[in-house]
Amino acid sequence: MQLTWALLSDLERQHGGPLFVADPGRLRANYLRFRDAFRAVYAPTEIAYACKANYLPALCREVTDAGGWVDVSSGMEYGLARRAGVPGDRLVFNGPGKSEAEIARALSEGAIVNLESPCEVDMVMRAASVDKNQPGRVGLRCNPRRWTGLESRFGFEPGEELASAFGRLEASPNCRVIGLHMHICTREKSVQTYARLAVGMLEVAGQLFRDRRPRYLNLGGGFFSSMEPFLREQFNCEVPDFESYAAAIAGPFARALRGADDTTVLMLEPGLALVADVMSYCAQVTDVRKWYERRLALVAGTVYDMKLTFSQRNLPMQVIPKSSGEPGEEGLWNLTGYTCMEHDVLYRGYTGRLAPGDFVIFRNTGAYTLPLSPSFMRPRPAVVRLGANGRADILKRRESADEALTTYNFL
């Protein structure tokens, strides 16, 4: 549905402003495109949506309804996914800092649990000794430094440390390692890096799983999303598409595992790549004024809602002029947020007309905005989904000031 000034004005009256407009169906389309790109190269591929990128329960349901998995990285996220209706056996539980109770629950409900450290190995072995009827699905996370050259605090170093954890679990009467996990926490998203990781993962798996094939090898996420040319051109590197990632990662798997009787699943955990273009951030211009050689437009929104990395890149933006009154003044504009922070700039160097009452829509705001957004100076905004008839379904209601302050003790 096209966003008009009248529609946005009506949405603000009902749900407050600023607000996000979400299209969960786009996530399903992105999931299918990503999955099919990899399956075209290596058929036994499964995709787990990294829900840390966006906590909307509707998005978890879109993926699982399409046959996908969900990746969680904490006990809170695990609980969110289960409340959203994700079956336990379609969950991958990653991340440091898992508690023993969280690990035991996940194993008992059929989730894959990827272990980060010797401490987590101990937890799994204790849980397995208590519940001998539930051996669980356990994997080990590999540290990627050997293939990226970048230090990482996550996972077991391939070699003696990883082999020791693998051996301890395999020697336990009720534990069995069924796979390996690797995820790069870096801005390095090139196909060359992922190709090295894929080859490295296959090499390590061959050294550990000598008498059998692993059930899965998980290369994590970190991929670029699809994006408009305006945004892509602001990166000083190549922005690969899904098919290029598939060739780099699934290609080595297809060559190494073709014809295997016991098929190994390639698992991936994209978050940003699936959800970045699922939401738009809509806010109204409240004030305009001259500012040195430019002009400033104050917007009833903030980078703390829609650009948490404070990137200097401008997101794709659309201006919807107020339907009545004088047209805005032509000029070179910076659009700034309502907080008192100097870096609260939503867009730098917009050329065009702006006036109080105009709406601005920022696209590509679906990733990490909701989980990372603080209640800073104003409550967090609502998220709505628009139906074909113009009806707005609330996916996340606007937070109230009382809710933002409810955990404080006013003595």
Label residue 125 by pLDDT band (50, 70, 90).
confident
Phi and psi angles of residue 143, each rounded to the nearest 5 degrees, phi first: -75, 130
Domains plus CATH for the chain?
Answer: 5-17+277-400 (2.40.37.10), 24-270 (3.20.20.10)
Closest CA to 381 of 293, 282, 246: 282
Does the structure show a pLDDT above 80 at 132? no
> What is the distance in angstroms between the CA of the first residue and the CA of the last residue of the chain?
49
Contact 89, 111 (CB under 8 A): yes
- Residue 381's alpha-carbon distances to 152, 257, 298, 402, in angstroms, are 34, 48, 17, 14
* Residue pLDDT, tens place only, 11-42: 999 999 999 999 999 999 999 999 999 999 99
pLDDT at 130 over 70: no
Across the chain, mean pLDDT equals 92
Convert the pLDDT of each residue in 378-398 to its tens digit. Answer: 999 999 999 877 688 999 999
139-190: pLDDT as tens digits: 999 999 988 888 889 999 999 999 999 999 998 877 889 999 999 876 778 9
CA-based nearest residue to 48, from 89, 18, 12: 89
What is the percentage of the chain residues whose pLDDT exceeds 90?
81
pTM: 0.94
